[in-house]
Each structure stands twice: as structure tokens, then as C-alpha cells.
Amino acid sequence: MIGIGITTYNRPDLALLCIANIKKHTTEPYELHIAVDTEFDRQGVAKRKNECFRALKDCDYIILFDDDCYPIKKGWEQSLITQSQKTNTHHFCFNKEPFYQKKGMSFINGVELESFGASGGVMLFYTKEVLKKVGAFYEGYDTYGFEHIGHSIRIFRSGLSADLFCCPSDLKEYIYSHDYEVENFFRENSSIDLKTKNALTLKNKEICNNEDNKIFIPFK
């Protein structure tokens, strides 16, 4: 069983588009969980992604989408699973040039993996093994920024990923992200204003630099 989680905040139109494309292009059986942040119950990214993990914990594979990212081609989920199995990589972060700079490429059992020096959190793939060995996102972050970086670092240290921020080279054929494809979308169409986003990013970067060195963090 595949678990698909969507985290969304103040962008209902994008969330509905994301859901529609998941339904359209996903052929394997899946369970869907939508984690909605609101002005009245603002939990932030880390807690909402943990909400998805808890809801989907019995699934063999978990894919987390931001509301502005979605599949565009059938076979996307099978491709991720197959390439995870072939490379023994339990975590992929969807990245794309030129939004993020590619730092290298590797070939493992016929699969081409791209590695990046930094990472977005628009789409994240996990096997169930990640929840067993690494556990939850650290919830000591403020509402936005760097939470998935800290989680990815812990996954890499656990030996469950081929590199800190890597994904199959062909993933860009299957997944669309507004941030990566629409000029200035990340700056101008965020659900958080740019000034607030920059302040939160700086704050959470410092938290990430000092995040607990433990690999496993249990779910609350």
C-alpha cells in the first residue's frame, strides 16, 4: 500500500489541483491524507508532515506533497518504488535545476540518481523503514523552513539514502512543481509573505544547525 500525504496552508485552489492530479495519475492502491494548516490551528510544516506520517504509518511507501506539486504522468509511483528498490535508497527529495544546483550523478543498478547541494520539500519519498529507523520530523522548528533538511540529514546518517538530497533523474518527467516551473512563484505566490518566510528560514536554519544528533526521534 502507498500512502500519499498533502500539506497545505491558505491555498485551497492549489490543494484541489494537487488532489485531482493524484487521483488522475495514480494507478496503484493508495491511502490519502490531507494535513491542513489554518490561521486558527497553526502547527507548521514539521508537525503537519508528522501528522501525515502518523496517518499513513501502516503504508509500505509514503510520498509527501506540498500543495503546489503533483504528478503529471501515470507510472510515477511505480517508478519511485522500483528505483528505490534497485538502489536500496529509502528517501528521495524531488529537486530540479536551475532552481537547485546539481552537484553530481551516480549510477546504481542501472538507475541514474542526481544529487543536489540543497533541497526543497515539494515532494518527499520514504519507505516504511525510514519511520522505523529515523522516525518523526523534529518539531522544535518554527512554522516554516529547514525541517525536511534536518530529517534528510538524519536519514542519510542512518544509511538509508544514497546521498543527502538525491532523486532519480527521470522524476522530472513525472512530477510538476510550481516552484520549479513558474518564474518567481516561490517568491510571489507563497502562502507566507516573503519577509516572514525569510525570517523563519534564518531562524530555522540555526535550529537545524543545532538539531539533536540522535538519528531516531519518536512520534508524540
Using the predicted structure, report yes or no on whether residue 212 has a pLDDT greater than 80: no
- In the structure, what pLDDT confidence band is assigned to residue 210 with cuts at 50, 70 and 90? confident
DSSP designation for 8: E
For 63-102, what is each residue's pLDDT tens digit?
Answer: 999 999 999 999 999 999 999 999 999 999 999 999 999 9
Question: Could you tell me which residue, 197 or 91, shows the higher pLDDT?
Answer: 91
Using the predicted structure, report yes or no on whether residue 213 has a pLDDT greater than 80: no
For 1-37, what is each residue's pLDDT tens digit?
Answer: 999 999 999 999 999 999 999 999 999 999 999 999 9
Task: Tell me what pLDDT residue 192 has.
Answer: 87
- In the structure, what pLDDT confidence band is assigned to residue 191 with cuts at 50, 70 and 90? confident
For 126-183, what is each residue's pLDDT tens digit?
Answer: 999 999 999 999 999 999 999 999 999 999 999 999 999 999 999 999 999 999 999 8
Q: CA 136, CA 152: separation in Å to the nearest integer?
A: 11
Output the average pLDDT for the chain: 95
Task: Tell me what pLDDT residue 186 has.
Answer: 83
Using the predicted structure, report yes or no on whether residue 211 has a pLDDT greater than 90: no
- Note the helical H segments in 5-114: 12-25, 45-55, 76-87
Q: CA 210, CA 139: separation in Å to the nearest integer?
A: 13
CB 138 within 8 A of CB 199: no
